[in-house]
Structure 1
Amino acid sequence: MGETMADVLTGVGVSPGVGYGPVLRLARSVPQPDADARHSGDDTAEIQRAVQAMQDTADDLSARGERAGGEARQVLDAQALMARDPALSDDVRRRVGEGAAAERAVSEAMAVYREMLAGAGEYMAARVADLDDVRDRVLARLMGVPVPGIPESDTPFVLVANDLAPADTATLDPELVTGIVTREGGPTSHTAILARSLGLPAVVACPGVESIPEGTQLLVDGANGEVTSDPTASDVETLRAAASARAAAVAESSGPGRTRDGHPVPLLANIGGPADLGAAVANGAEGVGLYRTEFLFLDREHAPGHQEQVDAYREVLEAFPGGKVVVRTLDAGSDKPLAFLPPMGEEPNPALGERGMRMGRRVPEVTDAQLRALAEAQQGTQARLQVMAPMVTDAADAEWFADTAGRAGIHDAGVMVEVPAAALRAHHLAETAAFFSIGTNDLTQYTCAADREIGALGRFQDPWQTAVLDLIAATATAAGKADRSCGVCGEAAADPVLSCVLVGLGVTSLSMGATALPLVRAALAQATLEQCRRAGAAALAERGPGEAKRAAREHLPGLADLGF
C-alpha cells in the first residue's frame, strides 16, 4: 500500500474497517513511590487513604464496565475484583501499620501479587498487565496525578500503544479514535475483543509500531492487518473505497442470515446479560448463541437467589420470541474465582484445572439451582431455550450434564466444544448432547498450547490455524451424522471470510458480538453454499493460517470486492 516496503508494517487484523489519522500514544506514566516512603505516623488515616483509593478505583472500573456492557463488562469486573481483593487490602493495612506510606504499601503489596501471577502458569501470567493497570490507577489517585488512559484530543487520531488495558479500550470514543494499533496482543486478547465490540478498526501484534513518531499520519487496515505510515492519497482512497463497498453491502443485506443461494445460517449474538440486548436487537440478531451467565455471579459473597436468576434469564428469553437463546451455565473456577465457591488450592495452570463444568460437577448444587431457575424462566415465553455446559471433555461429561438438566426440566442440553478431546470424540458426545457449540477462543488456545493473552504467541492464537479448522470440521461432521446442530460462538464467527469457511465446513449457526453481525451477514450474502464448501476444503488443504485464508479467498470472489 505505501510507496516503499518500509512504510508498511504488518500485524494481525482483528477488527475490520479503515482508520486514518495522526498517531497519539497512550498516556501511562505514573511515578512509582520511593522505596523508603513512610507516613507521618497516623496509621488509621493512612490506611483509610489507601483503602479509599482502592475502593474508588474498583468502583470506577465497575462503572466503566456497566456503561460499556458486553465483553468489556466482564473484563472490567474482573479488574475491579482485583482492587477489592480482601487479602490484598489486608496486606496493604499491614504494611501501613509497619510505617509504609499508602503509595508504597499499595505498590509493594501488588508487587507480591504480580510475582504470584507471573509464576502461576501462562494463563494467569497474562493477567499481570491487568493488575499493573489497577496498581497504576490506585497510585495515581494517591499521588494526585492523572489516571492513566486515552490521550485527550479535539481531533480524530489513531491510538498506538504497547498494549491496552481493558479499562482503556472499554471507554474509547469512536468519534475521536479512528483506529487502534498495538505492539502486543492477539486475535482473542482483551484489546481485540473489545475493539470489535466497539466497531473500531484494530491491528494487534504489530512489531515496529512503537517506533512510529507521534503525529505521523497512519492508515490502519483492520481487515488485513496492514499499517501504513504517511500513506499517499491513493492509498487512503483505495482502502476507503473498499470500506464504502462494505458499507453498501451491509445496507443491502438484512433479515435472517443466509448465503447468496438462500441456505439459512442463523446469526446470533453473544451477550453477558440483559444490558446487551439493545445492541443485539439493533444489529439484527436472530437470537442468542452465547449467554454468559458469569456476570450475574461476579463480585458477590453469595450466589444470586432463585428469583434474581429467573428474572435475569426471563428478560433475555422474552427479547427473542420465536428465536433461540443458548445459555452457558456458570463458567468459573480458579481462573475465574468466585467467593461462594469452595477454595481450589493452588493450581499451577488454572486454564487446565477445575473450571467450567469441572467446577460444576464439584459443586452440583450451584449447577442444579441455575438449571432450575432457567427452567422456570422459560415458562410463559416463546423463545426456544437451549442450555450448554462449558469445558466438556468426554462422553461422561456430556451424559452427566444431560441427566442433570433433564432432572431440572430442561431437555435441550448441549455442550461447548473447547477441548480438543471433545472435538475428536464428538461422535460419542452426540449420543447424549442435544447440540454442539464450538468455542473457538479456547479451542485454539488448547489446540496450539498458546495462551491467548500473550502477544508473542499471536500466530498460534489464530483460528485460521489449520489444526483448529480440522477440529471444527470433525465436530461439524459428527454433528451432521447424528442430526445435531453445530454452532460457533467464539470470536472466529465474527471474521467475515472465516464465517463463510465455517459454513462450508458444516457449521449451522454463527454467534458473535453484536457489532460484527452486519458485516458477517453481508459477507454470507456474497457467497453460495457451494463456494463456502470449496473455500472450506481449500483452507483445510493448506499448511498454515496465512495460506488457508488466501486459499479460501480464491473461492469467495464476492468478498474480494468488499476488501475482505
Structure 2
Amino acid sequence: MIVVTDASPSASSLQPAFTGTPVVPGVAYGPAVLARGEVSAEAVAAFGDGGFADAEAALAAYDAAATAVSGGFSAKAERASGAAAEVLTASAGLATDRGLRGAVRKNLRAGSPLLEAVEHAVEQFAGVFTQMGGLMAERVTDLRDIERRLVARLVGEAEPGVPTPEAPSILLAEDLAPADTAGLDPAVVLALVTERGGPTSHTAIIARQLGIPCVVGTADVLTVEPGTMLLVDGTSGGVTVDVDPEVAGALVAADAEDREALAQWTGPGATSDGFRVKILANVADGQSARSSATGPVEGVGLFRTELCFLNRTEEPTVDEQAEIYAEVLQAFHDDRYVVVRTLDAGSDKPVAFATMPGEENPALGVRGLRLSFSNPSLLERQLDAIAAAAESTGTETWVMAPMVATVAEAREFSAAVRGRGLKSGVMVEVPSAALMAHQMLEEVDFLSIGTNDLTQYTMAADRMATDLAHLTDPWQPAVLQLVAITAEAGRQADKPVGVCGEAAADPLLACVLVGMGITSLSMAAAAAKPVGARLASITHDTCLEAAEAALAAVDPASARAAALAVLGG
C-alpha cells in the first residue's frame, strides 16, 4: 500500500467506479486502452468456404495454420521464462492437439466448411473443459485464443493480440491469453484490468512475474470509453475514473518512491527484529533458475519438473532427466538449496508419456503422485534422476510430491526419497493433507502449501470462473484456517512449513503467513524484493497480530482490511 502525506488521499480512500480482485500491487494512472482481439468480419466473409477441392485439402490448410500458431507460441516461450514460458509451451501443444484436429477432420468430412469446422471443434472442447471444471476450465481462455489465431491465419490476417499503446496506458480486456500477457511491455502498459479471471489465472500469474499492477474479475470495466483517464490501485482492486490529475500524480509518485525503496532490498529474509523467514524462488527450468539465482533468494522453494516435459511424447531416460535437473541445481550449489517437486502432470498440464487420457474430471483425477499408483516405475526413475543430479552438483536437494491426500501416501513417498539420501516432503493442496498435517509430519521432513489448488479445492470453485473469483481468493477465511493448522503442526514438530503458491507473492498476505508460523515463502523471482522489503519493515509481533486479525475475519475483503489496519500503509 502506498504512503502519502496527510493532505493527500490514498488510492484506496477514493471512490472507485469499478472494483475487482487485486493480484499485483501498485498504483498507476493513465488513459484507457481496450483490447478487443477479434478477426475482422470482412476477412472472414471474403474467405467464405475457402474454395477447397475436398475435405483433405481443407484439413491440410488447417494443419498448416495450426503448425504456424504452435510455432509462434514456441518462439515466444523460448524468449520467456518462468510462468510465461510454462503457459506458452502448454498453448503450443494445445494448438496442435490431436483430439482437436480429429474433431475438425470429423466436421469437415460431415460437410462443414473449414471455419465452421474449426468453430464447432473448439466449442466441443470448450464445453468439455468447462464441464471438467478446475484447472481444465482455465484452458478455455487459451483455447479461444488459439481459435482466433487459427482463423486469422486461414483468412490471411495477422494473428490478433493486444494493441501497442502510443503512450503509457491502462490496458482493459475481457481476459488475456498467455501469449498476450507474456508479451506486455511494462514501459507502456502501466496496469492491467480484466473483466474475467481470478487471482490464480494465467493472466494474474504472468502479470505478477512482469511486475505490472493488475486487477482481475472487474465487472463492466469494458464499458469505459477509450482514452478515459483511470487510476488503478492493485492493492485494493479499485479502478477510479477521472481522478484529479494532481492527486493522481501524487499517488503515483508516492507509489514509485515505495517501489524504489523495495528494489533496494538485498536479503536475507527477516522481520525488522531479526525473525528469519526464507525467501525462495519458483523456477521451471535451467534458464529461470539461473535468472532467479542472481536475486536475493536463499534457494528454490518450487522446481516444477513437469514443465520441462510438456512437449515430450516419450519419457526421457534417467540420464536425460538428471542432466535437466542438474541445470537447476547447479545454479544454487553455493550453500543454497532446491526443493524439487515430482511430476505434477495431469489436469491442465498433460504430459504425453505420463497422464491418463479421457478422464472425466482430471482436476480431481489421476494427477501428481497418483500417477505412480499404476506406474510406480515412473516415479522411481524420476527420483533416481534427481538423486543423480544432486550428487553431481553437490546442491542440497529436497524432494516433495504433489496431490498427497493420505498419511499412507506420504509415508511411502518419504521412504522412497529418504532411501536415496534426500529430504522428503509433501505438498498441502488437498484439504485432507492440511487437516492431517500433524500426522503427515511424522512421516516427512517438511511441508509446502500450494495455495492455488488448496483454495480451489477448499472452496469447490473453478479458478477461472469470474463469477466465483471471490471464492478463489487466497484470503478466504477457510483457506487461512487450513494454512494456520498446517503451520501450527510444523511449529509443534519443529519442522519447516513453506508456502509456494501465488499467495506467497502478495506482500501483505506474506506478513500474515509469517504470523501464522510459515517458515519460507517461495514465489516468482520478481516478487522477492517487495515481499522481503515488506517483512523487513515490521516486527514479528506485528505479523502475529496481523495473522490473528485476518483469521478472525469472515470474508476476504475484511481479512485484507483487518491485516492492513495492523500492518499500516
- Asked if TM exceeds 0.5, the reply is yes
AA aligned to 1:463 is P
User: How far off its partner does 1:6 sit?
Assistant: 6.7
1:50–1:103 Cα contact (<8 Å) kept:
no
Q: Pick which of 290-299 and 123-132 moved more.
A: 123-132
1:378 aligns with 2:390: yes
1:479–1:486 Cα contact (<8 Å) kept:
yes
1:89 aligns with 2:89: no
Name the structure 1 match of 2:515.
Answer: 504
1:553 aligns with 2:564: yes
1:15 aligns with 2:24: yes
AA aligned to 2:474 is P
Give distance in 1, aligned partners of 2:401 and 2:147: 35
User: How far off its partner does 1:426 sit?
Assistant: 0.4
AA aligned to 2:36 is A
User: How far off its partner does 1:3 sit?
Assistant: 13
1:83-123 deviation line (CA, Å, top 9, x unaligned): 11123223333444555443333223223222322333454
1:52 aligns with 2:64: yes
Q: Pick which of 131-140 and 84-93 moved more.
A: 84-93
1:396 aligns with 2:396: no
2:136–2:347 Cα contact (<8 Å) kept:
no
Map 1:82-231 to 2 at 5 A. Answer: 82-97=94-109, 100-231=112-243
TM-score (norm 2): 0.93
Aligned length: 556
Map 1:77-476 to 2 at 5 A. Answer: 77-97=89-109, 100-320=112-332, 321-341=334-354, 343-347=356-360, 349-407=361-419, 409-476=420-487
Give distance in 1, aligned partners of 2:457 and 2:54: 51
Secondary structure of the equivalent of 1:450?
Answer: coil
1:39–1:100 Cα contact (<8 Å) kept:
no
Q: Pick which of 204-213 and 113-122 moved more.
A: 113-122
AA aligned to 2:563 is A
User: How far off its partner does 1:270 sit?
Assistant: 0.5
User: How far off its partner does 1:306 sit?
Assistant: 1.8
Q: 1:532 aligns with which of 536, 543, 567?
A: 543
Secondary structure of the equivalent of 1:445?
Answer: helix
User: How far off its partner does 1:4 sit?
Assistant: 11
Secondary structure of the equivalent of 2:469?
Answer: helix
Name the structure 1 match of 2:5.
Answer: none
1:38–1:100 Cα contact (<8 Å) kept:
no
TM-score (norm 1): 0.94
Give distance in 1, aligned partners of 2:317 and 2:526: 32
Name the structure 2 match of 1:513.
Answer: 524
Q: Which runs of 5+ in 2 are unaligned?
A: 1-8
Secondary structure of the equivalent of 1:436?
Answer: strand
Residues 500 and 81 from structure 1, CA distance in 2 versus in 1: closer, same or farther, beyond 3 angstroms? same
Root-mean-square deviation (CA), in Å? 2.1
Secondary structure of the equivalent of 1:158?
Answer: strand
Give distance in 1, aligned partners of 2:451 and 2:15: 34
Name the structure 2 match of 1:522.
Answer: 533
1:423-458 deviation line (CA, Å, top 9, x unaligned): 111001011111000111111111111111111111
Q: Pick which of 25-34 and 384-393 moved more.
A: 25-34
Name the structure 2 match of 1:25.
Answer: 34
Secondary structure of the equivalent of 1:460?
Answer: coil
1:211-240 deviation line (CA, Å, top 9, x unaligned): 110111112111221111122123313322
AA aligned to 1:549 is R
User: How far off its partner does 1:551 sit?
Assistant: 1.8
User: How far off its partner does 1:361 sit?
Assistant: 2.5
Give distance in 1, aligned partners of 2:520 and 2:338: 12
Q: 1:65 aligns with which of 65, 73, 77?
A: 77
1:338-380 deviation line (CA, Å, top 9, x unaligned): 2223634432x32111111112322211111111000000114
Residues 39 and 368 from structure 1, CA distance in 2 versus in 1: closer, same or farther, beyond 3 angstroms? same
Residues 215 and 328 from structure 1, CA distance in 2 versus in 1: closer, same or farther, beyond 3 angstroms? same
